[in-house]
Amino acid sequence: MAGITSILLTGVLAAGCADAGDKAMADATDRARDAANELKHTFELRVGRAADRRSAYDTLLTYLPRYTPQRGGLLLRSGLTADQAWFDVNVVKTATASDGFGSGSRTVRLCAHIVVEIPAGRPRTSSITDLNCPSYLPKSDPQLGTIDKVVRLAT
């Protein structure tokens, strides 16, 4: 009887950990999506509304961390033309969740391509689309640990 109870208890605990892990994965994914959309908004405000777009773009790049294997990173590549600025970004987020039986922690990566259209005489627009993460990105983040999953903007 004790063996059966032990097996049942182990099964319940394992199921609890999986639920906590699933919750952590969902939370980390939401955080990555939110961060990417916040970047889109920031880029639109900083570059799209500036009178001197080149200066605004250069200033923005000065303050954005660029990707380095030692720091995880954010900005992979970017460019500026007469009518648009574009940014390829790498967002890494983590979350921990508990469900009463156990806890789980998950880390996700999301890569996105953000474009801010700045045509002369017309309202600016911006867009964000999924970007396939470059293969050179490491499988772990120095501060957050192993990347458990690469996620997309859409569910």
pLDDT digits (tens, 9 = 90+) for 53-112: 888 888 888 888 776 655 556 899 999 998 899 999 999 999 999 887 788 899 999 999
Q: What is the pLDDT of residue 18?
A: 58
The residue type at 95: A
* Contact indicator for 101, 20 with CB cutoff of 8 Å: yes
More confident of the two residues 98 and 130: 130
Please give the Cα distance from 106 to 22 (Å, whole number). Answer: 9
Q: Which of 12, 16, 3 is nearest to 97 (CA)?
A: 16
| Partner residues linked to 87 by β-bridges | 78, 114
The residue type at 113: H
The structure's pTM equals 0.80
Which whole number is the average pLDDT over 144-154?
A: 93
Lowest mean pLDDT, pick from 16-30, 33-47, 63-77: 63-77
Q: What is the pLDDT of residue 5?
A: 45
142 has a pLDDT exceeding 60:
yes
Q: What is the pLDDT of residue 33?
A: 95
154 has a pLDDT exceeding 50:
yes
Q: What is the pLDDT of residue 124?
A: 76
1 has a pLDDT exceeding 60:
no
